[in-house]
């Protein structure tokens, strides 16, 4: 069915994509009118961060390798202080959602422009969404100040991404596109990007799994992550992201792996209430039951399929359920305590996704 009523706001950002495009980074910093950029990355990406700083030459203000999942408020505060101390007037965020999220936290406080250099498939670089975790609770919001001024997608930088991380990061990207297909503020443009993003990513991941050095597969996965991230940037999030924000912020579960486990179950909950989205996903995945297809794909790629295996205790289900139900996101299917608890328990055990039961109708 053609959507006949919608609005679409294009985000003001610049994207450069291609093998070796990282060489244009000094040019992009100069284009912003910036003099010195602080490179932000995680401790695991320090070598890459140092290489990026070296490529910046005199335009480098140094490297801060302290990015962590869910952007703890104390890490954000240290990054802001370090940027001010070094006189940085721009940031280069290198890595996945943790590094780019840290760049956004600096931009939110100081208004410094961010150039994002993604090395995973998280997609945060395409959105105005920021998140900071404090006292076990993750706060999120939207602000145009945090949108990267430029994004450099260089598939060469993803060749060293570990296979397991590649798979879960890819599922994280797919989750963005899945929810965009039934978001209340979706548009035909977003739906086209979302369907293509799901198709490209789920085709690329088995090839990446088979050979992490497959340059074509890596480029296809990064292309898919761009599309999936763009859909996240153009729409509001629903039950899946609410669940993952609660699980990550409260229990500090690994971000991409949590998305991987939860996605099939959240989709199974919503499929009956979102027939157009289910039809698009069926085309992209070549499957009658998209939720079950994603669960099966995760298993075939040795991805986690149980919240219990990620470190969640069964006693955590009720507190997470309360957090989700008490402040729900917009969602096509009803979000009740009973249905969310059922969803979480199935995701915790690692059983196949169970469709949301439909209420019986009176004759």
For every one of its 363 residues, what pLDDT tens digit does the chain have, with 9 covering 90 and above?
667 677 777 777 899 999 999 999 999 999 999 999 999 999 999 999 999 999 899 999 999 999 998 898 999 899 989 999 999 999 999 999 899 999 999 998 888 999 999 999 989 899 998 988 888 888 888 899 999 999 999 999 999 999 999 999 999 999 999 999 999 999 999 999 999 999 999 999 999 999 999 999 999 999 999 999 999 989 999 999 999 999 998 999 999 999 999 999 999 999 999 999 999 999 999 999 999 999 999 999 999 999 999 999 999 999 999 999 999 999 999 999 999 999 999 999 999 998 866 554 333
Bridge partners for 153 per DSSP: 17
DSSP state of 28: H
The structural domains of the chain, with segments of one domain joined by +, span 15-158, 163-349
Phi, psi of 170 (to 5 degrees): -65, -40
Asked if 151 contacts 118 with a C-beta cutoff of 8 angstroms, the reply is yes
By the 10 Å C-beta count (0-12 exposed, 13-18 middle, 19+ buried), 278 is classed as buried
CA pair distance 181, 192, nearest whole angstrom: 9
Residues with Cβ < 8 Å from 86, sequence gap 6 or more? 36, 38, 61, 62
The pTM (predicted TM-score) of the whole model is: 0.90
Q: Which CATH superfamily is domain 163-349 in?
A: Dehydroquinate synthase-like - alpha domain (1.20.1090.10)
Closest by Cα among 204, 229, 43, 61 to 151: 229
Token digits for 89?
């007037």
Closest by Cα among 51, 55, 54, 45 to 23: 55
Bridge partners for 16 per DSSP: 152
**Domain spanning 15-158, CATH class:** alpha beta
């Amino acid at each position: 069915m053609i959507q006949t009523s919608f609005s679409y706001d294009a985000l003001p950002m610049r994207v450069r994509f291609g093998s070796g495009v990282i060489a244009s980074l000094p040019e992009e910093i100069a284009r912003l009118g910036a003099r010195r950029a602080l490179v932000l990355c995680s401790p695991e990406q320090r070598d890459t961060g140092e290489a990026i700083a070296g490529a910046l030459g005199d335009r480098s203000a140094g490297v801060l390798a302290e990015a962590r999942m869910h952007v703890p408020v104390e890490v954000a505060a240290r990054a802001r202080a370090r940027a001010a101390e070094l006189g940085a007037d721009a940031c280069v965020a290198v890595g996945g959602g943790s590094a780019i999220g840290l760049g956004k936290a600096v931009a939110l406080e100081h208004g410094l422009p961010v150039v994002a250099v993604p090395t995973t498939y998280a997609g945060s670089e395409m959105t105005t969404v920021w998140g900071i975790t404090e006292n076990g609770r993750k706060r999120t919001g939207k602000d145009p100040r945090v949108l990267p001024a430029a994004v450099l997608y260089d598939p060469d930088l993803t060749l060293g991404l570990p296979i397991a991380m590649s798979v879960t990061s890819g599922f994280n990207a797919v989750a963005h596109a899945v929810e965009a297909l039934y978001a209340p503020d979706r548009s035909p443009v977003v739906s086209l990007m979302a369907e293509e993003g799901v198709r490209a990513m789920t085709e690329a991941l088995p090839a990446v799994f088979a050979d992490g050095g497959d340059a074509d597969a890596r480029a296809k996965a990064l292309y898919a992550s761009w599309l999936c991230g763009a859909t996240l940037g153009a729409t509001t999030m629903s039950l899946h992201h609410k669940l993952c924000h609660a699980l990550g912020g409260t229990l500090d579960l690994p971000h991409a792996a949590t998305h991987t486990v939860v996605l099939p179950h959240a989709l199974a909950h919503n499929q009956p209430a979102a027939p157009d989205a289910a039809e698009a996903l069926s085309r992209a995945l070549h499957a009658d039951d998209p939720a079950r297809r994603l669960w099966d794909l995760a298993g075939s790629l040795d991805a986690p399929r149980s919240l219990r295996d990620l470190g969640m205790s069964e006693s955590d289900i009720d507190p997470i359920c309360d957090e989700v139900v008490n402040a729900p996101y917009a969602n096509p299917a009803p979000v009740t305590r009973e249905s969310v608890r059922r969803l979480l328990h199935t995701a915790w055990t690692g059983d196949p996704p169970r469709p949301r039961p439909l209420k019986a109708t009176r004759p």
